[in-house]
Amino acid sequence: MKKSKLPVYVVDDDAAVTNSLKSVLEYAGHQVFCFASANEFLRSQPEPSGVLILDLKLPDIHGLEVQQRLVKKGVYLPIIIYSGTADIPDTVSALKDGAYTVLQKPVAARQLIEVITEAAEHAEKVRQDIVSRKKAAEQVAKLSPRELSIALLTAEGLSATQIAEKLFISKRTAETHKSNIFKKLDIGSTALLIRMLMLSEHLN
């Protein structure tokens, strides 16, 4: 099966830079979209599976503000800051706001291509993690308060007898609750229960 092209968005007002990147990245098999201004890019509809190569000093909006606007719009693209003027404060701010990395111009084509691939792979893992956490939270929300309490005690390693004693219920009731918990969560082991509770942020 032929691998689909990765969309790469280049935002830089230097035509020499954008033309060079477009040529190199298209040769590497990517689908490249170039923008000479931040507003032009922000008006577009970038694919969430793409990667953004962003300059800091743009004619209309600073690159760091572009990052912040994307977050506010709910657009989570892996961002590679590609600038010849990025100082330490800019680098810290960019990384703090979620940029994948900061590269100083110029960068060898091979290195840039490798970083783009790494950024896309990292972003995909993050997206999968978000989906897993959302799914786990939805599953755990099906539990009653009593079932959640028993699920947490089970995750701590307590037996049905110990849970019964702690909650002042019968062992049989504790076992029934545990059985219902596993059915509601569609899992078959305590290890999976622990993972689901961790993903749903009920367990550290």
Dig out the tokens for 204 from the structure. Answer: 């550290």
Distance between CA 168 and CA 173 in Å, rounded? 10
- DSSP H or E stretch at residue 57: none
- pLDDT 10s digits, 23-69: 999 999 999 999 999 999 999 888 878 999 999 999 999 999 999 89
pLDDT of 87 strictly over 90: no
Q: What is the CATH number of domain 141-199?
A: 1.10.10.10
Predicted structure pTM score: 0.74
Domain ranges, ordered by start, for the chain: 7-131, 141-199
Note whether 7-131 and 141-199 share their fold: no
Distance between CA 47 and CA 25 in Å, rounded? 17
Three-state secondary structure call for residue 126: helix
- DSSP H or E stretch at residue 84: none
Angle between helices 109-140 and 190-199 (to 10 degrees): 110
Name the residue with higher pLDDT: 137 or 86: 137
Distance between CA 109 and CA 20 in Å, rounded? 10
pLDDT of 3 strictly over 80: no
The CATH class of the 7-131 domain is: alpha beta
pLDDT of residue 126: 87
- pLDDT 10s digits, 132-165: 999 999 999 999 999 999 999 999 999 999 999 9
pLDDT band at 2 (very low <50, low <70, confident <90, very high): very low
pLDDT of 122 strictly over 70: yes
| Across 52-66, 69-83, 169-183, least confident range | 69-83
